[in-house]
Structure 1
Amino acid sequence: MASNHLHDHVQEGDLLDVFPPAGEFTLATGDKPLVLISGGVGITPTLAMLDAALAAPGERPVHFIHCARNADVHAFRAHVDAQAARHPRLQVFYCHDEAQGTGAAPHAVGRLDRARLQDWLPADRDLDAYFLGPKPFMAQLRRDLHALGVPPAQSRYEFFGPTSALE
């Protein structure tokens, strides 16, 4: 409802009375390797976390994994690629469900599975992982991260909508 209202009634130059970002899904400071994983529109919060992590002092390694349907709907790729070109501590991996599209090819085609995730995670599994996307995507990620040795307390996620269990 909110998005439709904004698109239908708010014009460039209109003033909006809004609240600052709120919630518990925020990037914690630290020096452990950071892994940001997103599916579809889940890239939006992870992109802000990526920029904040790269702007922070230090050399914290960052792995950014994004899954999209195909190259035509892969959001913010140019921005992430530009960040990777500027920051050698950033490793980027893209996975598309389909090989079609007019954009650059991904690193892998198909679903993000445990084997692919294992290859793309840092060797040190004492890391901080943040992930967002569709609920089935997040449920599988949570299982796979834990099976691959990421401590459960260092695996963080948030829902786009009502909170529910990732069982």
Structure 2
Amino acid sequence: MPHSDAASPATRALARAKVEHTLHAYEHDPTNHHYGEEGAARLGLPPEVMFKTLVVRLEGSGVPTPLAVGVVPVSGMLDLKAFAAAMGAKRATMADPADAQRATGYIVGGISPLGTRKRLPTCIDSSALDHDTMLVSGGRRGLSVELAPADLIRVIGASTAPIAG
């Protein structure tokens, strides 16, 4: 069941929602800027079950908010065209890191799709549904949360689509 020894907005959101999850902590190397790949390697997990959270700026087609979140395996990249289409936008570009940090309340490398300061529209790559569990950031560098994809989708109100390239 939920752990409170590493409380963050992400873990508190899971506790509030009564979602079963497991925390995985590892020592983050401050010189490594490939956060997701580092997490998978340090935890000895296949990169396709470790997902990174990316904040994206959307443009066009009556987009309700300019920022949205894409969650894709660390082994791949976010396909911006597919993401824009999935979100009903004309165009998608990576958000400025300062804007991402301001909107989510997390620092780059520790951005979680859970417990964000502002609730942003979120799309998770449909490959997550191929796994019993997936890992996302627990809200800081060196902390990941393992949970069922369906629980993550439900708690954050996410959609799924093939958005990884």
TM-score (norm 2): 0.31
Query: Higher relative CO (CA 8 A, sep ≥ 6), structure 1 or 2?
Result: 2
TM-score (norm 1): 0.31
Q: Which has the higher strand share?
A: 2
Q: Which has the higher helix share?
A: 1
